[in-house]
Structure 1
Amino acid sequence: MSHHIDASEPDVEGFYDYHYEYDVFEFSDGVVTFLARAYSDEPERAAMMTRTEGKGYHHLTKRDLRHPLFLKAAAYLRTVGKSHLDWLDRRSGAYVPLPPDRGERQ
Structure 2
Amino acid sequence: MHGNGGSDCTCSAPVDCSAPDASGALEDAYEYDIYRFVDGERCLIARSYIDTPSEAHFLSIDVAGESRLLKDADLLESLWLFAQAQLRREGKLQLCWLSGRDNGYEPVPADSTPLE
Both proteins in one fold, TM over 0.5:
yes
Distance in 1 (alpha carbons) for counterparts of 2:75 and 2:97: 9
Residue matched to 1:76:
86
Q: Note if 1:98 corresponds to 2:97.
A: no
Paired AA for residue 90 in structure 2: V
Report 1:1-106 matches (<5 A): 1-92=11-102, 94-99=104-109, 102-104=112-114
Check the 8 A contact 1:84/1:100 in 2, yes or no. no
Aligned residue pair count: 106
- How far did 1:101 drift? 6.2
List gaps (5 residues or longer) in structure 2: 1-10
Superposition CA RMSD, Å: 1.9
TM-score (norm 2): 0.81
Unaligned segments of structure 1, at least 5 residues: none
- Provide closer, same or farther for how the CA distance between residues 33 and 26 of structure 1 changes in structure 2, counting only shifts above 3 A: same
TM-score normalised to the size of structure 1? 0.88
Output the CA distance in 2 between the equivalents of 1:38 and 1:12. 31
